[in-house]
């Protein structure tokens, strides 16, 4: 279980789905500033100035870790990792997983340090500015864009995951994948009425069938090399068989039952730097232990046996 801040005070509680007929509706992120390379915003890209707060369990935070790794920004943008299980006070730090910048015990303290009367959910990822001691952004879609383009002087400038010529296509695929798959698994798992669960389930597998058919004809979603659209899908797919299939009841098929999707998932996983961003311990412990309304015993399943290191493309 977790909670939220109301006028800067922490309250325990889960999402209220009563007002939306049992449907889970994800709130908008609140901090939406951008870091730029040319100083055209308040936040100039500088090595060591910004810190990412992530959960290794969270698919939205995972996107930012993937792009940080692909762009070679590990030394320029340090990371603080929260404890995997979200309990009474929400995301927490510990002696083993400390808040390096502020020494806080809980992530909600970071939010109220910036805005004493903050109201809303306290989410990861967070891009923190150590110079002005503020939150630049808590929206992973924006953080991914900043890491891709603002820090080229300090990372792999040649890699562009959002090239000008492909932007319209990437945006279209992102919208479809977000609605039906990235957030679709949550709409299944967090639904509190049978019809809203079944609607989300149908839309999810319709979308996965569409992706499977597309991948039969081309290796990646938009181009013949991975783009931002593929990495945004990856973080959901890599959690699918271990968590969403069982815990979120997305159980028409597993990833391993889709030949093209599973080949694609392995190809992305085997990209240099990516395997190190995937932590199945944190992923499984987070989901199965943080939602007692879904899994009251909080027992973490021992399976399934997964191997993303099998050859991505069959020989011959």
Ligand X SMILES: N[C@@H](CCC(=O)N[C@@H](CS)C(=O)NCC(=O)O)C(=O)O
DSSP 299: P
Q: Does 2 bind ligand X (CB under 6 A)?
A: yes
In three-state form (DSSP H/G/I as H, E/B as E, the rest C), the secondary structure along 209-228 is HHHHHHHHHCCCCCCCCCCH
Could you tell me which stretch among 120-128, 145-153, 221-229, 254-262 binds ligand X (CB under 6 A)? 120-128
Q: Which two tokens stand for residue 90?
A: 């929400």
125 binds ligand X (CB under 6 A): yes
Q: How far is the CB of 8 from ligand X (least distance, A)?
A: 16
Residue 226 CB contacts under 8 Å (≥ 6 apart), including other chains = 161, 220, 268, 271
Nearer to ligand X, 14 or 210 (CB): 14
**Binding piece for ligand X, criterion CB under 6 A, among 43-51, 70-78, 115-123, 234-242:** 115-123
| Sole binder of ligand X in the list 58, 208, 233, 243 (CB under 6 A) | 58
Residue (124 or 147) nearer to ligand X, CB:
124
What is the rounded CA–CA span in Å between residue 152 and residue 33?
Answer: 19
- Does 188 participate in catalysis according to the annotation? no
Least gap, CB of 91 to ligand X (angstroms): 6
Q: Could you say whether residue 139 binds ligand X (CB under 6 A)?
A: yes
Which of 52, 73, 124, 221 is in the footprint of ligand X by CB under 6 A? 124
Token pair recorded at residue 147: 């890491």
- Please identify, using beta-carbon distances, which residue of 124 and 208 lies nearer to ligand X: 124
Can you tell me the distance from the alpha carbon of 9 to that of 79, in angstroms, rounded to the nearest whole number?
26
Q: Which of 76, 112, 140, 227 binds ligand X (CB under 6 A)?
A: 140
From the candidates 4, 43, 53, 58, which is the catalytic residue?
58
Binding to ligand X (CB under 6 A): which residues in 12-31? Answer: 29
DSSP 135: E
- What are the residues whose beta carbons fall under 8 Å from the beta carbon of 85, sequence distance 6 or more? 285, 286, 289, 290
Strands (E), the chain: 3-6, 9-12, 35-36, 43-44, 50-54, 79-81, 126-129, 134-137
Active-site residue identified among 43, 154, 186, 264: 186
CB-based burial label for 162 (10 Å; 0-12, 13-18, 19+): middle
Q: In the bound complex, what is the minimum distance in angstroms from residue 29's beta carbon to ligand X? A: 4
Taking the complex as a whole, how short is the minimal distance between the CB of residue 248 and ligand X, in angstroms?
A: 12
Q: For residues 201 and 195, is the Cβ–Cβ distance under 8 A?
A: no
Residue 77 near residue 304 (C-beta atoms within 8 A): no
Give me the least distance between CB of 140 and ligand X, in Å please: 3
Q: Residue 77 Cβ, how far from ligand X at the closest point, in Å?
A: 16
Phi, psi of 51 (to 5 degrees): -130, 140
Asked whether position 60 contacts ligand X by CB under 6 A, the answer is yes
Provide the 10 A C-beta neighbour count for residue 172.
12
Q: 90 or 226, CB closer to ligand X?
A: 90
| Total residues interacting with ligand X, rule: CB under 6 A | 13
The set of catalytic residues is 58, 186
Binding site for ligand X (CB under 6 A): 2, 29, 58, 60, 90, 121-125, 138-140
């Amino acid at each position: 279980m977790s909670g939220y801040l109301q006028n800067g005070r922490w309250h325990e509680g889960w999402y209220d789905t009563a007002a939306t007929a049992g449907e889970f509706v994800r709130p908008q992120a609140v901090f939406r500033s951008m870091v730029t390379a040319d100083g055209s915003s308040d936040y100039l890209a500088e090595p060591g100035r910004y810190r990412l707060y992530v959960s290794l369990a969270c698919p939205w935070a995972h996107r930012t870790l993937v792009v940080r790794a692909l762009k070679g920004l590990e030394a320029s943008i340090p990371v603080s990792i929260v404890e995997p299980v979200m309990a009474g006070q929400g995301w927490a730090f510990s002696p083993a997983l400390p808040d390096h910048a502020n020494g806080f015990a809980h992530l909600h303290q970071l939010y109220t340090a910036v805005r004493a009367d903050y109201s809303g959910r306290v989410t990861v990822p967070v891009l923190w500015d150590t110079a002005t001691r503020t939150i630049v952004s808590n929206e992973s879609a924006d953080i991914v864009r900043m890491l891709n383009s603002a820090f080229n002087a300090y990372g792999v400038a040649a890699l562009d995951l959002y090239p000008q010529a492909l932007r319209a296509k990437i945006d279209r695929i992102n919208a479809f994948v977000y609605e039906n798959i990235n957030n679709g698994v949550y709409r299944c798992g967090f639904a509190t009425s049978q019809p809203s669960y079944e609607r989300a389930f149908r839309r999810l597998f319709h979308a996965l069938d569409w992706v499977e058919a597309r991948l039969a004809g081309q290796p990646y979603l938009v181009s013949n090399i991975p783009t931002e659209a593929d990495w945004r899908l990856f973080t959901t797919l890599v959690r699918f068989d271990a968590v969403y299939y069982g815990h979120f009841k997305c159980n028409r098929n597993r990833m391993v039952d889709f030949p093209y999707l599973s080949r694609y998932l392995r190809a992305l996983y085997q990209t240099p730097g990516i395997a190190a961003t995937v932590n199945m311990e944190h992923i499984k412990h987070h989901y199965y232990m943080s939602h007692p309304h879904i899994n009251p015993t909080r027992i973490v399943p021992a399976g399934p046996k997964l191997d993303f290191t099998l050859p991505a493309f069959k020989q011959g």
